[in-house]
Chain A
Amino acid sequence: MFYREAGDFKTSYVDDNQTFPIKFDRYRYYFVLLFAFLVVPFVINDYWVNAVFMPFLIYSIAAIGLNILVGYCGQVSLGTGGFMAVGAYACYKLMTAFPEVNIFFHVLLAGGVTAVVGVLFGLPSLRIKGFYLAVATLAAQFFLVWLFNKVPWFYNYSASGQISSPERTVFGYAVTGPHTSAWATYLFCLVFVVLCAVIARNLTRGTVGRKWMAIRDMDIAAEIIGVDPLRSKLSAFAVSSFFIGISGALFFSVYLGAVEVGEAFGINKSFLVLFMIIIGGLGSIFGSFAGAAFLVLLPVLLKNVLVSGLGWPTDLAAHLEFMIVGGLIITFLIAEPHGLAQLWRVAKEKLRLWPFPH
């Protein structure tokens, strides 16, 4: 009843191009932003940050990145874990080499480094598509993990072969290292999430995004219309890897603090982020958030209900999680290939006419 576009007239193309053309959506968006920035930091504690918010925020960035490549540009990638590792190790090297520079810039630069690496591994996409490209990116995944294990320079010759993030501060508050406070790390990640989401939205609604989608939907027609497939695909790889690199840097420096590359950025991570965008919705920014939230919250929920609530053994709950996620992925692929985002879209379309659909 309140969710209407009737009476909300657009008198300019700028208005028509808004991200949220319906007033209610727009206010909801501002409300969520204000709530996230002004309320959550005051009520948050360590458990919530480490179990829910931080993984959600960081995986959201990775999911947005992968969604740009897979969902918008149609280039399947299984190298997400590897690219996250590039972000993490780039961030580590920068943090230790230039301790006086603010970590904010280190994370951004780590994204930049990952973008370059992503473009390199994106080069085969000009020749191969689909399955074969997926296998090529799988090679990137294994190669990168191997590289970070094998070359001691990347982990500064530490005895354990791990990298651990030294303490760094933003405006005097620690965001990495052992002495962080929940709200500071949360806000630090949130800033990156908002930044990435806005950039992703701007890119996908303009010419760049239309070129990507044209390549995805029909690459030959796109080329005849005037899309340079080389530049278009590589730009998707670059932007996608930039986001994934940022998420990898945050995952290492802010969230985990210490990382062993094979464990933290293995092939499982690639699949996890891929599942996020499949369940959330390919080709949708909202879907990236929805998928990340779903796959982060599901284990937490299962653990709380089954282990703490019903007293089941932990391993049983963990196995049940695998089964549920597997089942859901099959269900979504068959029943709703556009994921949670599409369900959301359909719900909104119904809501616009509710309660009188005729």
Chain B
Amino acid sequence: MTVQKEEGYVTADGRKIGGTLMEMKNITLRFGGVKAITDISFDIKEGEIRAIIGPNGAGKSSMLNVISGFYVPQEGEVWFRGAKRPPMKPYEVAQQGIARTFQNIALFEGMSVLDNVMTGRLNNMKTNMFQQAIWKGKAEKEEVENREVVEKIIDFLEIQSIRKTPVARLPYGLKKRVELARALAAEPKLLLLDEPMAGMNVEEKEDMSRFILDVNDEFGTTIALIEHDMGVVMDLSDRVVVMDYGKKIGDGPPDEVRNNQDVIDAYLGVAHD
């Protein structure tokens, strides 16, 4: 059992978790008459792995889309790094240091793995179009500097051998890994993973779990993930938010959530009177 304090805490395996990185305050998201998310509040602390779980249609992906700026909630506030975030475009959110992967792989199929990962770094590349057109000098220097960072990530995720392969030719599991590489290339403060293990076999899941833990451990990246595989969620995450029908029904460390009666009811179903 972890000891939870207002500013950070220490996990069971001894990692120190920092202060609040992101805070969602009373978020409500509607699509016309449908309430996808109802009055949900939770926080994500620096350096932790935070899972969002729930049955299908619970609003998890909508929540992730709110965090990444793709949806703007009708009510509620999003606080990031101690400041209230005004409504902004998704690319501006990305520039603030939030990167994500997608439930259905959203790689750039026509480009090579290397180009895909390099695209992840575009917020760090500042040369303008005229410098790019000349290439020699600033643009080339910048390209090489960023390539070095990208190569470290390629090494880290063990995808060296497919560097120059067009993404369209890769199998599913590798595509997921390339997508993680692209998100990591941005060196995000907060990394959002939307079902990173979906459709994988046990071995691939183990690989992906290892990468997620390593990312958190080596880069200190804060991670928020959605996942259906309970075994994975309970093993990886420090704290879990449970959603059902757009409402939050549980929040806390895995052990606590596992024994929460509402959560058990949501997953196993309960007889209604």
Contact = CB atoms under 8 A, between A and B. Distances in A.
A235 B91 contact: no
Nearest to B69: A224
B111 A217 contact: yes
Interface stretch (A148-156, A198-206, A304-312): A198-206
A205 B115 CA distance: 9
A132 to B, nearest CB: 22
Contact of A235 (B99, B106, B129, B182): B129
A12 B133 CA distance: 21
B106 A17 contact: no
Contacts of A202: 132-135, 139
B125 interface: yes
Nearest to B65: A224
B211 interface: no
Interface in B199-228: none
B122 A210 contact: yes
B106 A221 contact: yes
Interface in A206-223: 206-208, 210-211, 213-214, 216-218, 220-223
Contacts of A1: none
Nearest to A16: B147
B139 A224 contact: no
Given A13-B147, A221-B102, A226-B94, A210 B119 contact: yes
B186 interface: yes
Nearest to B114: A16
B128 to A, nearest CB: 9
Contacts, number: 102
A214 B119 contact: yes
Contact of A218 (B91, B108, B115, B123): B108
Nearest to B150: A13
Nearest to A199: B133
A239 B68 CA distance: 31
Nearest to B132: A206
A14 interface: yes
B148 interface: yes
Interface in B26-43: none
Question: How extensive is the interface on chain B, given as a class?
Answer: 35 or more
Contacts of A222: 108, 119
B91 A228 contact: yes
B260 interface: no
B109 interface: yes
B70 interface: yes
Nearest to A19: B135
Given A203-B129, A203-B132, A214 B91 contact: no
Contacts of A208: 129, 132
A154 to B, nearest CB: 29
Contacts of A97: none
A14 B106 contact: no
A43 to B, nearest CB: 33
A118 interface: no
A210 B106 contact: no
Given A203-B129, A224-B70, A235-B129, A217 B115 contact: no
B90 interface: yes
A210 B118 CA distance: 8
A225 interface: yes
B90 A207 contact: no
Given A225-B122, A226-B122, A227-B91, 8 more contacts: A13-B148, A206-B143, A217-B108, A218-B108, A218-B109, A225-B91, A225-B94, A226-B123
Interface of A: 12-14, 17, 199, 202-203, 205-208, 210-211, 213-214, 216-218, 220-229, 235, 239, 283
20 contacts: A13-B143, A13-B144, A202-B132, A203-B129, A206-B132, A210-B111, A210-B119, A211-B119, A214-B111, A217-B107, A217-B109, A218-B107, A218-B108, A220-B70, A223-B91, A224-B69, A225-B91, A225-B182, A225-B186, A229-B91
